[in-house]
Structure 1
């Protein structure tokens, strides 16, 4: 408990995006169908559309790992095109007001900001996507930094969070996320970890090692003085 108490009142909160702040399946179900329709039209992938749950189960991974899991026998050209289409269709969906934040996310972020905490995003996604979600869902102004693997070319979330902490001279922070990569990134950088048990994309064992589990985003406010 010693480490937990030392970081009980942190300087900052670092949030994952997909499955933590943003309920990604509300955007991705339609995007997924469109990607595979286009790939078939272009002759790059001729099989049936993989189950969308397979894609949702890969959220939090780097893009290269996602397509290796979703369509393992595909060509490099198909995977590269899927990257392009995913970003294009995600941004089009966001602009069309598709996709929602989890309940209470905006209110809690505003309250944390009002209490003087610095807020950040650390995501394995592409820069344009991560910033697009924040912009189109109206929460971009609440953050002191939006960090993505796409922008910083990091090979793991551990490295991304380390870069963020160094850039902003943050000594104590909480990592808030729904995947094992978030737990690893927090623990490897000496942070308190709040695991998001309300997210449906990961499995419960992914949150093993978290200091606390959230079943509702509002619980975050009850954990700090």
Structure 2
């Protein structure tokens, strides 16, 4: 049976879309004020790469800027994101709490593995009191390789996980599951891409759909004597 589930955060548990454009607009307005940007905010470009670590985001969005400028931009963007979270402008996806209660009631441990930065993740966890369900939240900052597969591997090692699933909306989540021999469940939410989801074991349109998937997976394993 599934004993543990590792969730992605952005676009899976947290509706990042509600604060992303606000924070990105603020950030590029800041760059404009410094005479370091003179065109539209690249929100569509960001949506296309949503889910990759922020250092890689700024390499794509600011290809002609220095590393120091990218780091300054990153810090400003992070501050705006955190402020938006703390002011209640974000939201969890529907049924997050209900699904978490169901998982805990069925002795399934919950973890979060995200390409988001630690301060950002902690702001979400604190604002929505996710600690009462989530065993631990892991940031890509904890892994030198910036590889989500390695981040998931570290969770497996730390908690000696045996039968687990990864739930996320992007290819990095699916690949992280596959690389570690875990069940990959794709979320067809805001930032998801059809060609990426096609590589998951299951695809859901609502977190409530996790319940029957987990139940079916347990039955299938029972039939094989697992």
Paired residue for 2:26? 34
Q: Is the 8 A contact 2:164 2:182 kept in 1?
A: yes
Q: Distance in 1 between matches of 2:179 and 2:37?
A: 42
Q: Cα 1:61–1:11, aligned 2, differ >3 Å: closer, same or farther?
A: same
Instruction: Tell me what 2:218 maps to.
Output: none
Partners of 2:33 and 2:132 in 1: how far apart? 40
Distance 1:57 1:106, change over 3 A: farther
**TM-score (structure 1 length as normaliser):** 0.91
Which of 153, 156, 162 is residue 165 of structure 1 equivalent to? 156
- For 2:78 and 2:105, locate their aligned partners in 1 and report how far apart those are by CA, in whole Å: 33
Instruction: Tell whether the 8 Å contact from 1:12 to 1:117 is kept in structure 2 after alignment.
Output: yes
Q: Deviations over 1:1-34 (max 9, x none)?
A: xxxxxxxx21100000001111101011110111
State whether residues 24 and 99 of structure 1, in contact with CA within 8 Å, keep that contact through their aligned partners in structure 2: yes
Alignment of 1:53-202 (within 5 A): 53-197=44-188, 199-202=189-192
**CA spacing shift, 1:201–1:78, aligned 2, 3 Å:** same
The aligned counterpart of 1:20 is: 12
Change (3 A) 1:144 1:154: farther
Contact 1:91 1:129 (C-alpha < 8 Å) held by counterparts: yes
Mapped to 1, the partners of 2:110 and 2:145 lie a distance apart of 20
Structure having the higher helix fraction is 2
Tell me the secondary structure at the aligned position of residue 45 of structure 2.
Answer: helix
User: Bigger shift: 165-174 or 106-115?
Assistant: 106-115
Count the aligned residue pairs.
215
Task: Name the residue aligned to 1:208.
Answer: 198
Runs of 5+ consecutive residues of structure 2 not aligned to the other structure:
216-226
Which whole-Å CA distance do the structure 2 matches of 1:122 and 1:78 have between them? 28
Q: Which runs of 5+ in 1 are unaligned?
A: 1-8
Is 1:220 the counterpart of 2:204? The answer is no
Tell me, in whole angstroms, the C-alpha distance in 1 between the residues paired with 2:78 and 2:37.
Answer: 21
The whole-number CA distance in structure 2 between the counterparts of 1:125 and 1:102 is 17
Q: What is the match of residue 6 of structure 1?
A: none
Q: For 1:28, what is the secondary structure of its paired residue?
A: helix
Residues 163-210 of structure 1: per-residue CA shift (max 9 Å, x gap) = 00000000110000011111110001000011001x121311112321
